[in-house]
Structure 1
Amino acid sequence: MSASEFESVEASLSKYISPGDLDEVRRILYGKQTRKLDFPQSATDAAAERGFDLQGCVFEASSEQLRLPRIVRVGLIQNKIVLPTDAPVLDQIAALHKRVGEIVEVAAMCGVNIVCFQEAWTMPFAFCTRERQPWTEFAESAEDGFTTRFCQELAKKYNMVVVSPILERDEIHGGTLWNTAVVVSNSGKVLGKTRKNHIPRVGDFNESTYYMEGNTGHRVFQTQFGKIAVNICYGRHHPLNWFMYSMNGAEIIFNPSATVGELSEPMWPIEARNAAIANHCFTCAINRVGTEHFKNEFTSGDGRKAHHEFGHFYGSSYVAAPDGSRSPGLSRIRDGLLIAELDLNLTRQIGDQWNFKMTGRYEMYGEELTKAVQNDFKPNIIKE
């Protein structure tokens, strides 16, 4: 069976492990078991009709005497491109708007408050081809481009915060390209944008010639439903990146990504989950799905022969909680919507239990990092 045919780890576990053992296996792999979220029959029927995976779970916190539960529902959307990569640009964008709009409608049926799409969701992940045309034509304004206007309509229609990662064209600064996430409030207003801090230089994924490292720092957005941040794709490999969003108050950190199996799949289930534990917050890992074929061959600079595709984007989107528990993943091969109901009180409860931030010794790290970035830095190694 090829990677592009393997449905999911969860499906295989359920198929081959007895029910009694399966509970223990899930406990060890996924932490405290989450309760399954019930959906309206209309949503279940719509997901089946529209051909995407619909899953949901509940992360509960302990009841408190002085605070009511702080319940929020987040939706994670993963999807394939709809049209071939050589279709006209506007046709590709329109087809993706339609497809994602169909999935958002089901999210609204299920009471989702915040929805996040995958990295560069309005286009094929063409950055690694090194070609400029026609891919730069997918870039648009974060403030008033047609995708942002589309998301504003969704936000107002469904009273939903929309996180929309796009390729941004910044006309104010000479047409500079950025890998950007636009955050639209449930009121329909653009709350702001945040840019990808870390750019990979790994095999095909050498994107540094395409857009710049972000210059927006670690912005956190105060929404009606909680404080959220967006750690775009490669930033998940950098623990300090998660940490700084958390230090700025993020309760939920979304990680919209585009990554293929041969490159990163063994790390995928670990990194966002570890970040949730280390930073006392919820993390939402979103990966696109499918194999994208490009007309012109391209090379990677890593010794591979010229090829027409990067590999299989393996989906497997999931949500992780500060107590170490996590949801099952979405399909590796199909479009999907994962809905998680979170009690944000869990973030402080776990912080009080484990005290990772209280015991962090950040002043010590700050002092040593300040030294480490200097040209005359000498590692603190004791020799005989």
Structure 2
Amino acid sequence: MSQQFISVEESLKKHLPEEDRKEVFRILYGRELPELDLTVGATNPLNLELKGYSFSAELEGLRPPRRVRVGLIQNSIVLPTTEPIAAQRDALLSKIGQIIGVAHVNGVNIICMQEAWNMPFAFCTREKHPWCEFAESAENGPTTVFLQELAKRYNMVIVSSILERDEDHGDTIWNTCVVISNSGKVMGKSRKNHIPRVGDFNESTYYMEGNLGHPVFETQFGKIAINICYGRHHPQNWMMYGINGAEIVFNPSATVGGLSEPMWSIEARNAAIANSYFTCAINRVGTEVFPNEFSSADGRPAHRDFGHFYGSSYVAAPDGSRTPVRTSISFCIY
């Protein structure tokens, strides 16, 4: 049996002479980025893998440099999907809380998690119960309250993708990102503008297209926006965040190999080039198995998992340079 395929980058490193590899990487990924010296601390109970890279720019004579350190978290779920909802959520909050602590030690200013990070990506099942129990208020739900304390403690802007329950409008469900300032205040939220309806992407069973447009949030560390998951397939979606003044656009996602992987490394990078801002693409990792079999009228036999989430988070710059990726890496800093 052949060795498991890890990533394009790892395959090129394995099979190309070093000089050829450097030239291929230059053509595929732009200028080579220096690695950051990061630490996970004396102990590493979560078995974290950290990678970090630096994007540099020419120093100006009249304006001081502005240095921003961004963290991206891609992670697997902690408990099986058969466990009680509260236990699953709380285990993820504990895990991500520890990772955010590591981010603080490494000087992160803005951090963003993957799409629907505090739950399994259960929308493939089309089951309302029990998965809608994960939905919560964007402003004062348990996940937001938990992160507000961390944002204030660590002087960090936190971008949190959740399943929102809009209690002011009949408990309507949305796919939402909450932006928490470094003072711990909720700055606002951004909702998913484009909903996929192909294969096991059965998200419209739970929520519809967002109604908040393309908001940009002016944080202490820069103007940020969030283009959630499937929105990356739509160039005008990216464009509107740029028109509204974004300097960094996050793309928290949950997507599996075989469906969007050939486009993954291209879309956020293209958006950075076309719109002259930085893009941060984040995807979860692992395979999530659900209690009941499901199918999606696409001819496939009934199954219990959505597929394998391949990670591969990266940051791209307006000049087309981008960071290398790893499918298994837990935490990235730029």
TM (norm. structure 1) is 0.85
Does the Cα contact within 8 Å between 1:227 and 1:252 map onto a contact in 2?
Answer: yes
Does the Cα contact within 8 Å between 2:125 and 2:202 map onto a contact in 1?
Answer: no
Matched, 1:115 2:114: no
Matched, 1:64 2:60: yes
The 1:299/1:22 distance shift into structure 2, 3 A limit, reads: same
Instruction: Indicate the residue corresponding to 1:7 in structure 2.
Output: 6
Ranges of 4+ aligned residues in structure 1 off by more than 6 Å:
none
* 1:1-384 equivalence runs, <5 A: 5-40=4-39, 43=40, 45-46=42-43, 48-329=44-325, 331-332=326-327, 334-340=328-334
Query: What is the DSSP-based 3-state SS (H/G/I as helix, E as strand, rest coil) of the residue aligned with 2:93?
Result: helix
Does the Cα contact within 8 Å between 1:233 and 1:257 map onto a contact in 2?
Answer: yes
Does the Cα contact within 8 Å between 1:80 and 1:335 map onto a contact in 2?
Answer: no
Q: Deviations over 1:166-185 (max 9, x none)?
A: 00000111010000000000
Query: What is the DSSP-based 3-state SS (H/G/I as helix, E as strand, rest coil) of the residue aligned with 1:183?
Result: strand
Does the Cα contact within 8 Å between 1:287 and 1:316 map onto a contact in 2?
Answer: yes
Q: Deviations over 1:257-284 (max 9, x none)?
A: 0000011100000000000000000000
Does the Cα contact within 8 Å between 1:200 and 1:234 map onto a contact in 2?
Answer: yes
Please give the alpha-carbon distance, in whole angstroms, between the structure 1 residues aligned to 2:78 and 2:140: 24
Please give the alpha-carbon distance, in whole angstroms, between the structure 2 residues aligned to 1:63 and 1:221: 26
Does the Cα contact within 8 Å between 2:38 and 2:51 map onto a contact in 1?
Answer: no
Q: Deviations over 1:342-384 (max 9, x none)?
A: xxxxxxxxxxxxxxxxxxxxxxxxxxxxxxxxxxxxxxxxxxx
Identity %: 68
Please give the alpha-carbon distance, in whole angstroms, between the structure 2 residues aligned to 1:301 and 1:165: 28
Structure 1 residue 65: deviation in Å?
2.0
Q: What one-letter code is carried by the residue in structure 2 that aligns with 1:23?
A: K
Q: What one-letter code is carried by the residue in structure 1 that aligns with 2:270?
A: N
Equivalenced residue count is 334
The 1:49/1:229 distance shift into structure 2, 3 A limit, reads: same
Please give the alpha-carbon distance, in whole angstroms, between the structure 1 residues aligned to 2:5 and 2:84: 31
Does the Cα contact within 8 Å between 1:219 and 1:229 map onto a contact in 2?
Answer: yes
Does the Cα contact within 8 Å between 2:280 and 2:315 map onto a contact in 1?
Answer: yes
Does the Cα contact within 8 Å between 1:254 and 1:285 map onto a contact in 2?
Answer: yes
Does the Cα contact within 8 Å between 1:179 and 1:196 map onto a contact in 2?
Answer: yes
Moved more, 286-295 or 7-16: 7-16
Structure 2 unaligned runs (5+)?
none
Moved more, 57-66 or 258-267: 57-66
Please give the alpha-carbon distance, in whole angstroms, between the structure 2 residues aligned to 1:336 and 1:308: 25
Please give the alpha-carbon distance, in whole angstroms, between the structure 2 residues aligned to 1:223 and 1:10: 34
Please give the alpha-carbon distance, in whole angstroms, between the structure 2 residues aligned to 1:279 and 1:2: 41
Q: What one-letter code is carried by the residue in structure 2 that aligns with 1:36?
A: E
Q: Deviations over 1:233-280 (max 9, x none)?
A: 000000000000010000000000000001110000000000000000
Query: What is the DSSP-based 3-state SS (H/G/I as helix, E as strand, rest coil) of the residue aligned with 2:318?
Result: coil
Structure 1 unaligned runs (5+)?
341-384
Q: What one-letter code is carried by the residue in structure 1 that aligns with 2:267?
A: E
Please give the alpha-carbon distance, in whole angstroms, between the structure 2 residues aligned to 1:198 and 1:335: 28
Q: Deviations over 1:152-173 (max 9, x none)?
A: 0110111100000000000111
Does the Cα contact within 8 Å between 2:51 and 2:329 map onto a contact in 1?
Answer: no
Query: What is the DSSP-based 3-state SS (H/G/I as helix, E as strand, rest coil) of the residue aligned with 1:267?
Result: helix
The 1:45/1:320 distance shift into structure 2, 3 A limit, reads: farther
Query: What is the DSSP-based 3-state SS (H/G/I as helix, E as strand, rest coil) of the residue aligned with 1:178?
Result: strand
Q: What one-letter code is carried by the residue in structure 2 that aligns with 1:6?
A: F
Structure 1 residue 49: deviation in Å?
4.4
